[in-house]
Amino acid sequence: MPRRWTRSGSARLGPERLRRFCANRGVQVQRRKAHEIVEAAKASLTLPPQLRKVHADVLDADVALLGTLDGAIAQAEEALGETLPRTPAGILTTMPRVGVVRASSYGAGLGDPSRFRTAAQVYRMAGLVPRLYESAGKRRAHTSISREGKAELRGAIIELGRALRQGDPDFARYAEELAARGKAPGIIACALGHRANRVAFALVRDQVPFDPRRWR
């Protein structure tokens, strides 16, 4: 984010240019949110001077708080960057678009990889398997996930799937195929997470860098 965010600058950019502006600085802004920001910026420019100053003061305070949070996040990432290479999860940074934070999140959620024989056990512990219900003495899979497991690991697996969708052509094609078949975004995210977890667990277990040819 820029050091000084101005309302007039937001209004001039427009929603799409604002999204590109933020993306170039590592910040993803949804199209709906970009529209809200631009409209709010336009509205604030038409306010009376006194009220405009109040809004400007609030915005300045928010920007200052954001700067403090950015600094704290940078320090945390630096600490993770020093620790991660000494853990089994350090190998995960060889995966496309997987940096220190995503790799650390998966490693922390996984814990000692020797506890698991298969990636399926990890996936089950994350609570991402379909929820089961019984009817007339028969057990059937529900369309929703069980969520019976570690929420931190569940989020880390979904993030790995999102990263590979953005950075690996094969994962991107898989996501497109699922979307073409009418699968809901949540189902696509879980399916990508399932594949990403298989890759990540194998890398952590075998300590072999990511090779797209192996997982194609």
Q: What is the pLDDT of residue 58?
A: 83
Q: What is the pLDDT of residue 4?
A: 47
Q: 121 phi and psi, to 5 degrees?
A: -65, -40
pLDDT digits (tens, 9 = 90+) for 95-154: 999 999 999 999 999 999 999 999 999 999 998 877 654 544 454 444 566 667 789 999
The span from the first CA to the last CA of the chain, in angstroms, equals 36
Alpha helix positions (H), the chain: 7-13, 15-23, 31-45, 49-83, 100-110, 119-125, 151-167, 169-180, 185-206, 212-215
Which residues in the chain land under pLDDT 50? 1-5, 133, 135-137, 139-142
Q: What is the pLDDT of residue 54?
A: 83
Q: CA nearest 192: which of 163, 216, 213?
A: 163
Cα 186 to Cα 39: distance, rounded to the nearest angstrom: 30
Cα 185 to Cα 173: distance, rounded to the nearest angstrom: 15
- For 49, the token pair is 């001077």
Q: What is the pLDDT of residue 162?
A: 95
Q: What is the pLDDT of residue 39?
A: 83
Which amino acid type is present at position 163? Answer: A
